[in-house]
A and B are shown apart, each in its own frame.
Chain A
Amino acid sequence: MTHRRTHLVLATLCVGLVACGGSSAPSSSEDRTSGGEATTTRAATTRAASTAPYAGEAEATPEPGMMDDMASPPPSMEGGGAVQTTRPSRQPQRQTVQVETIHRDPGPQGVGGARLEFTALMGTESEFATALSQNRCEDARDLRDRICDLSERICDIAESHPDHVDTRARCRDGARRCETATDRVDACD
């Protein structure tokens, strides 16, 4: 009976989610990114625990400057697996285990791969920002043209009706806005 209830609840949820389109489901890119990070962290922790000569060392937090090491490893550590230590000292051993773990983790989900992806993402973001700025300047030019066109048309009407004070005032206001818009858009270019 409990199983039937569970199945009914699950079936109702499925029907409801299909009806709503599953709008809260994460995108594939989000899923992939978070999954990759989780896998990397888990792998590093597991391997550190199995390599550490003393119990509890693998849980130690990274030493100051550790992130710098990860970002630019020394040449001797490139490729991974080159670091071996026989010293019984706890502190150096702890650092060695961490570094070794990180640089022995190959593949696109490893630190090297993540760094490449991060660099690519930063490049893409920069290109996107540039394109966005260019598009905005183009949009600004369109708006300026429209402002000046409308101003010109109003002034044409004002010239044909010199007695109409309101239209003359609108002409002056439009001309002023056109001038300001032109100056601002020129600065955008």
Chain B
Amino acid sequence: MSPRLEHRRAQLWKPQRRLWEPQRRLWEPQRRLSRGRLLGRSGFWGLCLLFAALLGGCGDQAHTAAAWIESAAAAHAEADTALESAQVGQGRDALVRFLAEPIPADMATEDVRVVRQDAHWRLAEMALDEGEPVRALRHANGGLAEGRGRDVFTANLLVSRGRAREALNDPLRAASDYHEALQINDALLHELLDGVESE
């Protein structure tokens, strides 16, 4: 096999992208109240209380979503540190703990999907590296059960599942996963290049 092909084969198992700092709209648009409406004793206090409650609620929601995102980033960082010191179990525990956390109600479904898929995918890769394809398959399936999209998160999980299936002597189904991941990457390439050409 030529060096170029060997290089490309090695690249196949490289992660395409990691979700370290997802961008989220954490804050609700601020509300405006006309001061002219704040006349009358009971109306004034009622509106003050309502306004405080609205803003307080806004702060709580933002905190919950932000805390969840921070927790995801912290879990990945802890996994990084643990893997650097060969503490694979510790890194895995950090990601499993994050996946067990409750999902904030105000997070968009797609945002939840990609954040959780990224953690599942990482767990699957760790399991493959440890030579545990059954566990890898379980994590990959768990990630794909979160939903599917035409993005690298879904493609990464499909490749991981294909690798796990190959390791479990199921190459035909692995080929099906690889082909599905290939189609996603092809669609992403077309999007990217059509964007360049249209400029």
Contact = CB atoms under 8 A, between A and B. Distances in A.
Residue of B5, B56, B171 ringed by the most chain A CB atoms within 10 A:
B171
A152 B62 CA distance: 46
Given A12-B48, A140-B189, A154-B179, A24 B30 contact: yes
A149 interface: yes
A174 B11 contact: no
Given A23-B27, A143-B185, A149 B171 contact: no
Interface string A18-49: 01110110000000000000000000000000
Given A19-B58, A161-B171, A174-B179, A12 B9 contact: no
B38 interface: yes
Interface in B125-173: 159, 171-172
A16 B31 CA distance: 10
Contact of B52 (A16, A147, A188): A16
Contacts of B62: 19-21
A143 B55 contact: no
Contact of B172 (A13, A19, A150, A164): A164
B52 A15 contact: yes
A9 B38 contact: yes
Contacts of A149: 8-9, 11-12
Nearest to B186: A177
A69 B182 CA distance: 58
B3 interface: no
Contact of A20 (B8, B58, B192, B199): B58
Contacts of B186: 143, 147, 177, 181
Which bracket fits the contact residues of B?
35 or more
A98 interface: no
B28 interface: yes
Nearest to B179: A170
Interface string A161-174: 10010110010011
Interface string B51-66: 1101110110010000
Interface stretch (A54-62, A103-111, A131-139): A131-139
B171 A136 contact: no
Contacts of B183: 177
B188 to A, nearest CB: 6
Interface in A140-189: 140, 142-154, 157-158, 160-161, 164, 166-167, 170, 173-174, 177, 181, 184-185, 188
28 contacts: A9-B38, A9-B48, A12-B52, A15-B55, A16-B54, A20-B62, A21-B62, A24-B30, A129-B199, A136-B192, A137-B196, A139-B192, A140-B196, A143-B192, A146-B11, A146-B185, A147-B182, A149-B9, A149-B11, A150-B12, A150-B159, A150-B185, A166-B176, A167-B175, A167-B176, A170-B179, A181-B186, A185-B189
Given A16-B55, A153-B12, A166-B172, 7 more contacts: A20-B28, A140-B189, A140-B193, A144-B189, A150-B179, A154-B178, A173-B179
Interface of B: 5, 8-9, 11-12, 16, 26-30, 35, 38, 44, 48, 51-52, 54-56, 58-59, 62, 159, 171-172, 174-176, 178-179, 181-183, 185-186, 188-189, 192-193, 195-196, 199
What are the 4 tightest A-B residue pairs by CB atom distance, in nearest-first order? A16-B55, A19-B59, A149-B12, A23-B27
